[in-house]
Amino acid sequence: MKDNSKIIKREQRQLARLTRMQAKGCWAGYFGMLLFLVGFVNIIDEVTSNLSVSVQSSFVTEFFVNNGFLGKAYTFEEGLSLHTSISVISYAFGIITPFYKALADKWGRKPLFALSTLGMSLGLFIIYFSPNYLVFLLGYGIIGFFYSHDIQIIYILEEAPEKHRAMIYSILKSLGIFGVVCIPVLRNLLMGNDPTKWRSIFMFPAVCGLIAAALITVFAKDTGVFLKERTAYLSVPYEARQAEKQRIKEQKKAQRNQAGVFNAVKYIFSDRDTKTLIISHIIFDAGMPAIALYYESSMHIAGMSTEDITKSLFVLPIVYAVLTLCSGFVADFIGRKRTVTIAGVLCVSGFILFAVGINQLWNPYLIGGLCGLYQGCYWIGRDYMNIMMTEKVPTDIRASVVGAEGLLLIIGLAVGYILTIVGMLVMEVWLTCLLVAIPCVVVSVVILVLKVRETKGANMNEVGAEV
**371 half-sphere exposure, CB direction, 13 A CA radius:** 30
What is the DSSP code (8-state) at residue 130?
-
What is the DSSP code (8-state) at residue 257?
T
Taking every pair of Cα atoms in the chain, the longest distance, rounded to a whole number of angstroms, is: 74
pLDDT for the residue 465: 42
298 CB burial (10 A radius; 0-12, 13-18, 19+)? buried
Beta bridge partners of 69: 72
Q: How far is CA 213 from the centre of its chain?
A: 18
| Tens place of pLDDT per residue across the chain (467 aa) | 456 777 778 878 887 887 877 777 667 788 888 888 888 888 888 888 888 888 888 888 888 888 777 777 788 878 888 888 887 776 666 567 666 766 777 787 888 888 889 999 999 999 999 998 889 988 988 888 887 656 777 777 777 776 677 677 778 877 877 888 888 888 888 887 788 888 999 999 999 999 999 998 888 887 777 788 788 878 878 777 777 666 655 554 444 444 566 677 777 777 778 788 889 889 999 998 889 888 888 888 888 888 888 899 889 888 988 888 888 777 777 878 888 899 999 999 999 999 999 988 899 999 999 999 999 999 888 888 888 877 777 666 666 776 777 778 888 888 898 898 888 888 888 889 999 999 999 999 999 888 877 766 555 555 554 43
Element (H, E) at 185: helix 182-186
**364 half-sphere exposure, CB direction, 13 A CA radius:** 18
What is the DSSP code (8-state) at residue 237?
-
d(CA 228, CA 217): 21
Element (H, E) at 246: helix 238-251
Q: Amino acid letter at 282?
A: I
Q: With the CA atoms of 320, 323, 325 and 328 taken in that order, what torsion angle do they form, in degrees rounded to the nearest 10?
A: -130
Q: In Å, how far are 8, 14, 96, 105, 235 from 4, measured between CA atoms?
A: 6, 15, 26, 20, 16
Q: Where are the beta strands (DSSP E) in 231-332?
A: none
b/e map 376-391, b = 16+ CB within 10 Å: bbbbbbbbbbbbbbbb
DSSP-based three-state secondary structure for 72: strand
Q: What share of the chain is helix, strand, coil (3-state, %, to 5)?
A: 80, 0, 20
Are the C-beta atoms of residues 301 and 428 closer than 8 Å to each other?
yes
Residues 6+ apart with CB under 8 A from 305: 193
d(CA 62, CA 56): 10
**CB atoms inside a 10 Å sphere around CB 85:** 15
Of 185, 127, 156, residue with least CA distance to 41: 156
pLDDT for the residue 247: 66
pLDDT for the residue 182: 86
